[in-house]
Amino acid sequence: MKTGAFRTEAAEQLGCMNEVLAGLIRPLVRALHPYAPGEQPKIKGLIKLNTNENPYPPSPRVLAAVKEAVDGRLRLYPNATAQPLREKLAKLHGCQSENLIIGNGSDELLTLATRAFVEPAQACVAADVSRRVGGENAALTSRARRQRATVQYFVPSYSVYPVLTEIHGALHNAVALPADFALPLDRFGGRAGQVFADAALTLVTTPNAPTGRGYSTKDLEALCRKLKGVVVLDEAYVDFADENALSLALKYPHVLVARTFSKAYSLCFQRVGYCVGHPELIAALDKIKDSYNVNGLGQVAALATLGDLPYYRANFRRIIATRERVSGELRELGFDVLPSQTNFIFTKPPRFPAKVWLGELRARKILVRWFSCPETCDYLRISIGTEAEMDALLRAAKGILKAPGGRGSRSSPR
């Protein structure tokens, strides 16, 4: 056989094989657009302002505790419910350990909430078909069933929410935020795009990402009081904000607050997050989590973190001071910078489209984040780095604006 013919046959076989394998994968998974994490650079020397990591390392006490725990214990399973960590967090937040569940990052807890509180849509459609007997009551129950299968979230907010909804096969209610990204408290109703009072699960990023906008506890409380299903207040960035809404999770049985050690506590690598709320909801999440969902070194690191809070509070103040300085300097360069309550800023850059800026900054070894959807494509999201990293960003921005043609002599964006 000639090599060419052999190649064609091999390619055909491979094509068949791929088709067979594709048939083994659920259609929902085949069609899924997964969450796209920010670029993790493979080359050295890039300034990474694209994933909202903390620019400062964990406290020396945390590093020492983790190193000390690396011994023969690695052979053993960790505490299945992270009980010592829950007890310490309960003391910190003035609640009981039954009000707390620890997750493998707060992302895991968002996944668990979707699974625990939302019916997959297929189940509700099947129920509709089998009960299609007509009449007003049937129509009402059909609406109620759709609400049981609905995950509601605001746009823009954390872009993981639509992906979780999709994976679970649930229905989306994506509610567009107004131009100033405020909470749409006056937009309740029954039509798509309005806030449904009875959606099974409402996910609220507060302060919001990627906009950085903070929400007052008063407004969040007004929202929670109108919602009948479970509400998760996702406070991943709350340590950089003026207010937090933890009290709502202890006041209203249908409200959960999700927190993470990733951002403010410099522990992305260890994957530890937690949820606070009514013991009944917490127990539901606990029932469906993996047996040993939080790795042992993560538990050690988080416990040691809680033993050194003044170190972290000093870092919050530093990051907030840098955020305010850089926001001011970017405004002077013509950037429209939204007020931020987080460790990043959301800004409309001057003169060129945001996507062009993304490429120009990348060419100058600075990574920032750009989201292509219509609500966000005019903006860049820039994480707050060290003072030196932010000075480099400002220098690069000045260079891009000053160079002939405005974009410098570097390559065009990809």
Ligand X SMILES: Cc1ncc(COP(=O)(O)O)c(C=O)c1O
- Rule CB under 6 A: say whether 55 interacts with ligand X: no
The sign of the CA dihedral 316, 317, 318, 323 is positive
Q: How far is the CB of 268 from ligand X (least distance, A)?
A: 6
Distance CA 267, CA 103 (A): 13
Which of these segments, 41-49, 99-107, 148-156, 366-374, binds ligand X (CB under 6 A)? 99-107
Which of these segments, 103-111, 190-198, 218-226, 343-351, binds ligand X (CB under 6 A)? 103-111
Which of these segments, 70-78, 105-113, 218-226, 324-332, binds ligand X (CB under 6 A)? 105-113
Q: How far is the CB of 249 from ligand X (least distance, A)?
A: 15
Q: Which of 114, 152, 205, 341 binds ligand X (CB under 6 A)?
A: 205
Distance CA 227, CA 364 (A): 47
- Rule CB under 6 A: say whether 209 interacts with ligand X: yes
Residues with Cβ < 8 Å from 354, sequence gap 6 or more? 348, 370, 377, 378, 379, 380
Q: Which of residues 135-164 bind ligand X (CB under 6 A)?
A: 158
Q: How far is the CB of 273 from ligand X (least distance, A)?
A: 4
Q: How far is the CB of 88 from ligand X (least distance, A)?
A: 18
Residues with Cβ < 8 Å from 188, sequence gap 6 or more? 194, 195, 196, 197, 226
Q: What share of the chain is helix, strand, coil (3-state, %, to 5)?
A: 45, 15, 40
Query: In this structure, are strands 336-337 and 344-348 parallel, antiparallel, or unpaired?
Result: antiparallel
Q: Which of residues 35-54 bind ligand X (CB under 6 A)?
A: 52
Question: Are the beta carbons of 320 and 240 closer than 8 angstroms?
Answer: yes
**What does R_g of the chain's alpha carbons equal in angstroms?**
24
Which of these segments, 75-83, 141-149, 174-182, 260-268, binds ligand X (CB under 6 A)? 260-268
Residues binding ligand X: what is the number (CB under 6 A)?
13
In the complex with ligand X, the residue whose CB is nearer, 343 or 347, is 343
Amino acid at 186: D
What φ, ψ does residue 332 adopt, rounded to 5°? -65, -30
In the complex with ligand X, the residue whose CB is nearer, 124 or 204, is 204
- Rule CB under 6 A: say whether 119 interacts with ligand X: no
- Rule CB under 6 A: say whether 286 interacts with ligand X: no
Q: Which of 99, 106, 293, 299 binds ligand X (CB under 6 A)?
A: 106
In the complex with ligand X, the residue whose CB is nearer, 124 or 209, is 209
Which of these segments, 102-110, 127-135, 193-201, 286-294, binds ligand X (CB under 6 A)? 102-110
**How is residue 239 annotated by DSSP?**
G
In the complex with ligand X, the residue whose CB is nearer, 97 or 111, is 111
Question: Are the beta carbons of 319 and 387 closer than 8 angstroms?
Answer: no
Distance CA 2, CA 313 (A): 71
Question: Are the beta carbons of 227 and 265 closer than 8 angstroms?
Answer: no
CB atoms within 10 A of CB 8: 11
Which of these segments, 85-93, 101-109, 174-182, 403-411, binds ligand X (CB under 6 A)? 101-109
Q: How far is the CB of 154 from ligand X (least distance, A)?
A: 12
Distance CA 232, CA 202 (A): 6
In the complex with ligand X, the residue whose CB is nearer, 212 or 400, is 212
Residues that bind ligand X (CB under 6 A): 52, 105-107, 158, 205, 209, 234, 236, 260, 262, 268, 273
